Structure 1
Amino acid sequence: MLKVSIYKLFFSAVFCAAFSFSQAQVHNPNDENLYMDVTEWMKTLEKKSGELLKNSTYLDTTQAKLQLTAAEGKIAKVKKLNPLNKSLTQAELATLVKESTVVFGMAYDCGRCHLTHVNPASGYVIDEDGIIVTNHHVVESFTKSEGRKNLAMPIQTSNGNVYLVTEILASNEAADLCIVRVDTKGDKLKALPLGNAAKQGDEIFVMGHPNQMLYYFTGGNVVRNYMSPKSRFQTFSVAEMDITADYAAGSSGGPVVDNKGNLVATVSSTRSIYYNQQEQKNLQMVVKNTKPVISLKKMISWK
């Protein structure tokens, strides 16, 4: 009788422990939302872009080339947003900036299938009615169909909506900035407020899409503020800002923000420094160059 009771107590304890463990290990389906399926995201972007091309107005390469030239030095009218003044955690900041960061695409026909393909760069919203900023060189590359037929410039917001660029509002080739409008079909987008000039040593953060790694978020500091050297092709200097936050090809046009979520610069380019620069051997560092917000502010006026 004693043995039976001991066995019952033992198996009862084991069962309770196993039940408690299984309860602690219950899967939370909401956790899946943290993990982005980039392959499906790109398929959706390409599918929606193809559908919009059939029944929407958009800017083609010929129109874009003409408008890019005509928009040089023009001013875009933008709704004013007051700068944010509360410091955020990095998780809060990433969530906030993601809402305003877009995949700035170049839709093209490869000539070998019936699908619409999209090559992604980066951009961000500065007006809820569909005014977007990216690099001048991103838009310029769209106008040059090299080995493929470029069709349109779609943008996709973080909630998955896709819109097409319909107009180039302002451009500044020297500052590598371009402001465009997309047809939002009445949707309101989440805009980033423009901040003040960032100082050397300030903490900054970048969001973009390097090598199709969508919504890649990195942090660092401002390491240098300076004026670009003049050349025989450029008779005046423009403001430049180098940072330590990481990015790569595909991040072009992405936002650089302060720790409150205000825009302080736009991702532009990288420059590799080698010990033997001429032969490009023994890489020592990669300089990350951005275009400060003061250049963008010269391209806009408040509505």
Structure 2
Amino acid sequence: MLINKYYKLLFLYVFVFFCILQTSTAQEATPVVFEDYSHLAEDILRLLKQDGRISSFTGMSELKNKTKDVEESKRVPVKIQKGKKRSLHAAKMIHKTKKGVLMVCKYIPALQRNERVAIGATAIVLSEDGVCATNCHVLQQLIDKNYSLTPADSIVFVATSEGEVFPIVSILTYNKTADLALFQIDCGNKPLTPVPLGKDIAVGETVHALTHLEGFPFFYSKGVVARNVTTNPQDPFTNKTEITADFAKGSSGGPILDDSGNLISMVSSTQSIYYTDRPQMDLQMVVKTTIPVSSLQRLIKVIH
């Protein structure tokens, strides 16, 4: 009996020591890096013009032409990354996810001002071969048949955290009700890092956001699911997940993750609540609305 007790205690001590060691290792594996984002748009413009690659990118007029034939809500084949089960330290999760979070950029040629790049939204990598997701309203200029392009609507493309730029070559599918759009980028022979797809989660569960707030790229925030709501129980594309994690302009299309780093929803919109509606005075809170991953999955035909 004493020997059994001794071995039980020994096992317990070894187990606790192993857990502490694992936690320490996980924390040490994510170095603290102070990024300089102050010249990000200029850096992206330089990459875009490097070796004359800008001339090889598909123009918005051509993309809009091709999008006319895209059927709304059509399911498209995607080889997705399966969801993970193991919880991750938040710092490690964000470090891993960052490669799969893209900046949606627009090249604006020299008209009344100098040429420039505008970072306008966020997108999520779904497959290694370049299938990505964002909001329908982010690509509205291409999807909406009634929208007329202007001379400033030149090229729309994506940029990565690793300093690469890739052209958007086609819109694959979209759903206006859900505010979702899937598109294809040309990443050449370089496999991308997809964000794994998870499941819809319940009120009170923890969520993590990594998005490109205007002027604040790769901004992380944490919160919980506040409500899961619908405006039409007969149409699952009206389902929405409201969260408390912060996001703002520029976050559109950004990923909302669970504790394992799986995509559980996508940023869609915000609604500010004021104490006085007209005029809008005394802001009380901002409701953050996202699109549950189940809506995204309704546009995907999974390839194994």
TM-score range (shorter-chain normalised) is: 0.7 to 0.9
Task: Name the SS for the 1:105 alignment partner.
Answer: strand
Query: Kindly tell me: are residues 48 and 129 of structure 1, through their superposed partners in 2, closer, same or farther at Cα, counting changes over 3 Å?
Result: same
Query: Kindly tell me: are residues 272 and 298 of structure 1, through their superposed partners in 2, closer, same or farther at Cα, counting changes over 3 Å?
Result: same
- Matches of 1:255 and 1:68 in 2, distance apart? 27
- Matches of 1:49 and 1:110 in 2, distance apart? 15
Aligned-residue sequence identity (percent) comes to 29
Q: Structure 1 residue 274: deviation in Å?
A: 1.0
Taking structure 1 as the reference length, the TM-score comes to 0.82
- Matches of 1:89 and 1:68 in 2, distance apart? 44
- Matches of 2:85 and 2:236 in 1, distance apart? 34
- Matches of 2:76 and 2:289 in 1, distance apart? 24
What amino acid does structure 2 have at the position aligned with 1:256? I
Tell me, yes or no, if structure 1 residue 45 matches structure 2 residue 44. Answer: yes
Tell me the equivalent position of 1:96.
Answer: 96
Query: Kindly tell me: are residues 229 and 280 of structure 1, through their superposed partners in 2, closer, same or farther at Cα, counting changes over 3 Å?
Result: farther
Task: Name the SS for the 1:70 alignment partner.
Answer: coil
Q: Aligned pairs, how many?
A: 270
Q: Structure 1 residue 41: deviation in Å?
A: 2.4
Q: 1:184 aligns with which of 174, 182, 187?
A: 187
Q: Structure 1 residue 169: deviation in Å?
A: 0.5
* Contact 1:270–1:289, Cα closer than 8 Å, also in 2: yes
Task: Name the SS for the 1:132 alignment partner.
Answer: strand
| Larger Rg belongs to | 1
- Matches of 2:239 and 2:175 in 1, distance apart? 12
5 Å-filtered alignment, 1:201-212, equals 201-212=204-215
Tell me the equivalent position of 1:115.
Answer: 115
What per-residue deviation string (whole Å, max 9, x for no partner) do you get for residues 42-90 of structure 1? 2121222244654314141453265167241111211132211110111
- Matches of 1:65 and 1:224 in 2, distance apart? 39
Q: 1:199 aligns with which of 188, 202, 205?
A: 202
5 Å-filtered alignment, 1:1-303, equals 34-51=33-50, 54-61=54-61, 63-64=63-64, 67=67, 70-113=70-113, 115-141=115-141, 149-228=152-231, 238-303=238-303
Root-mean-square deviation (CA, aligned residues, Å) is 2.5
Q: List alignment gaps of at least 5 residues for structure 1.
A: 1-30
Taking structure 2 as the reference length, the TM-score comes to 0.81
Q: Structure 1 residue 247: deviation in Å?
A: 0.6
Tell me the equivalent position of 1:3.
Answer: none
What amino acid does structure 1 have at the position aligned with 2:231? S
What per-residue deviation string (whole Å, max 9, x for no partner) do you get for residues 115-169 of structure 1? 3422331011000111111110001146757776111211111111110100001
